[in-house]
């Protein structure tokens, strides 16, 4: 019976994928290349601009920035930029790969009132978000996959993306969190007078360490509902599913476990089924972090490879692994790759674009992008 349940779950995911995501692989076969940058600047493993970070309750208080859309006030947070100089000046994450999204719908055009982007400037956006919608999550028989009718609450318009540029070759990640239609569901408090907002974070894992990231947008409405984030279809235009090559990709892999162990107090708890059941965060595994000690040395500069745009790459435990008692919490992409090569994990989307990263070889992407910049990575 349990074998049929696992098989049915994977089959339901495959059906969902066929509806939402075109099959096929990534087009590039060039080697991974992350050129170093000669600079004495550095990026820490915690967002410097954060006003406060509560690692126990998983919240962050960030500065908010003023924007405008067709004469209507917009508020947004800044978390990442493709420019190392701007990242250092603003105290945000550096992701040079974001520049690879320029010229696509994933980067909206914007203009700036003010000499430079700051808390006193105004960014005039070409797209915005309708925050008035209500999120709907309809659990399936095993909680996940969820049932049809599941959808995100906030929805971006035809021009919206959290990424924007002033036409100078620099990309900023500035998710909109409030306007006249309402506020983002991750916002716990918003103080416009003090220009700050407190937001709910999501716990994940990176190389056996705790990660706290801010999930704000997704290119698919079902994933947006799971993340309690804005449905931003234009993010799908960011290159490239199945590839994290620095020369052409603007994304990096994130690995959700579909069917980890359940139980609120279970130390091995993990996965999408557990999250939809209301037991806690799914504890997704990210492939890279934004820390950079020395931009001229790729060995100590993860930011050269990092992107806040995560290429969702789900895997599921096999029934044989579950029956053998081998299903445990996984805390790194290396652990996932090992279990995958041993046959204990399988792709939840077996027809998706194959990841070309040799450290997660054989894993296949869902074809969905989520915007989840880390606020903190444990040392």
Task: Count how many domains the chain has.
Answer: 1
In eight-state DSSP terms, residue 31 is P
Phi and psi at residue 3, in whole multiples of 5°? -60, -40
Question: In angstroms, rounded to a whole number, what is the distance separating the alpha carbons of residues 108 and 283?
Answer: 31
pLDDT of residue 32: 59
pLDDT of residue 24: 35
Q: What is the DSSP string of 182-225?
A: EE-TTEEEEETTTTEEEEE-EEEEETTEEEEE---EESSHHHHH
Report the pLDDT value the prediction gives residue 228, as an integer from 0 to 100.
98
DSSP sequence for 306-361:
--SEEEE--EEE-HHHHHTT------SHHHHHHHHHTTSEEESSTTSPBP--GGGT
Contact 154, 130 (CB under 8 A): yes
* CA-to-CA separations, 123 to 75, 110, 120, 148, 296, in angstroms, rounded: 10, 7, 10, 37, 32
How many C-beta neighbours within 10 Å does residue 274 have? 25
What per-residue confidence (pLDDT) applies to 112?
A: 98
Q: What is the dihedral angle through the alpha carbons of 146, 361, 213, 27, rounded to the nearest 10 degrees?
A: -80
pLDDT for res 35: 86
Residue 315's beta-bridge partner residues?
Answer: 257, 347
Other C-beta atoms lying within 10 Å of the C-beta of residue 264: 10
pLDDT at 5: 42
Question: Token match 């930011």: residue?
Answer: 303
**Tens digits of residue pLDDT in 279-304:** 999 999 999 999 999 999 988 999 99
**Pairing state between β 163-165 and 107-113:** parallel
* Torsion angle in degrees (nearest 10) through CA of 133, 134, 140, 143: 120
Per the structure, the complete domain to which residue 236 belongs is given by 2-377
In this prediction, residue 45 carries a pLDDT of 85
pLDDT value for 287: 96
Full pLDDT tens readout for the chain, 379 residues: 434 444 444 444 443 443 343 333 333 333 456 889 999 999 998 999 999 999 999 999 999 999 999 999 999 999 999 999 999 999 999 999 999 999 999 999 999 999 999 999 999 999 999 999 999 999 999 999 999 999 999 999 999 999 999 999 999 999 999 999 999 999 999 999 999 999 999 999 999 999 999 999 999 999 999 999 999 999 999 999 999 999 999 999 999 999 999 999 999 999 999 999 999 999 999 999 999 999 999 889 999 999 999 999 999 999 999 999 999 999 999 999 999 999 999 999 999 999 999 999 999 999 999 999 999 999 9
This prediction has a pTM of 0.91
Q: What is the spatial distance between Cα 348 and Cα 108, in angstroms, rounded to a whole number?
A: 32
**Three-class SS of residue 303?**
helix
Asked if residues 353 and 17 have their Cβ atoms less than 8 Å apart, the reply is no
Widest CA span of the chain, in angstroms? 65
- In this structure, the strands spanning 163-165 and 374-377 are unpaired
Neighbours of 52 (CB within 10 A): 10
């Amino acid at each position: 019976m349990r074998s049929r349940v696992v098989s049915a779950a994977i089959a339901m995911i495959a059906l969902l994928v066929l509806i939402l995501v075109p099959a096929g692989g990534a087009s590039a076969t060039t080697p991974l290349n992350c050129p170093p940058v000669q600079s004495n600047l550095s990026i820490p493993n915690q967002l410097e601009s954060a006003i406060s970070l509560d690692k126990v309750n998983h919240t962050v208080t960030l500065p908010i920035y003023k924007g405008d859309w067709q004469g209507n006030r917009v508020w947004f947070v800044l978390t990442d930029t493709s420019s190392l100089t701007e990242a250092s000046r603003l105290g945000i994450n550096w992701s040079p790969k974001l520049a690879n999204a320029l010229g696509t719908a994933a980067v909206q055009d914007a203009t700036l009132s003010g000499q430079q982007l700051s808390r006193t400037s105004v960014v005039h956006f070409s797209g915005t978000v309708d925050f008035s919608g209500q999120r709907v999550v309809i659990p399936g028989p095993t909680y996940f996959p969820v049932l049809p009718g599941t959808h995100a609450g906030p929805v971006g318009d035809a021009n919206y993306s959290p990424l924007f540029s002033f036409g100078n070759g620099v990309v900023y990640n500035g998710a909109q969190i409030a306007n006249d239609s309402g506020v983002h569901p991750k916002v716990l408090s918003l103080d416009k007078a003090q220009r700050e907002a407190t937001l709910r974070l999501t716990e994940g894992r990176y190389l056996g360490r705790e990660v706290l990231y801010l999930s704000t947008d997704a290119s698919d409405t079902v994933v947006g509902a799971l993340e309690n984030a804005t449905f931003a279809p234009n993010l799908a235009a960011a290159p490239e599913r199945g590839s994290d090559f620095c020369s052409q990709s603007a994304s990096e892999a994130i690995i959700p476990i579909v069917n980890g162990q359940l139980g609120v107090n279970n130390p091995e708890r993990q996965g999408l089924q557990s999250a939809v059941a209301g037991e806690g965060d799914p504890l997704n595994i990210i492939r890279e972090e934004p820390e950079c000690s020395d931009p001229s040395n790729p060995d100590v500069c993860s930011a050269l490879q990092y992107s806040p745009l995560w290429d969702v790459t789900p895997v599921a435990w096999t029934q044989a692994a579950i029956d053998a008692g081998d299903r445990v919490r996984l805390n790194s992409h290396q652990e996932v790759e090992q279990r995958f090569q041993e046959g204990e994990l399988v792709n939840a989307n077996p027809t998706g674009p194959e990841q070309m990263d040799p450290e997660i070889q054989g894993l296949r992407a869902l074809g969905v992008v989520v915007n989840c910049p880390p606020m903190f990575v444990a040392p």
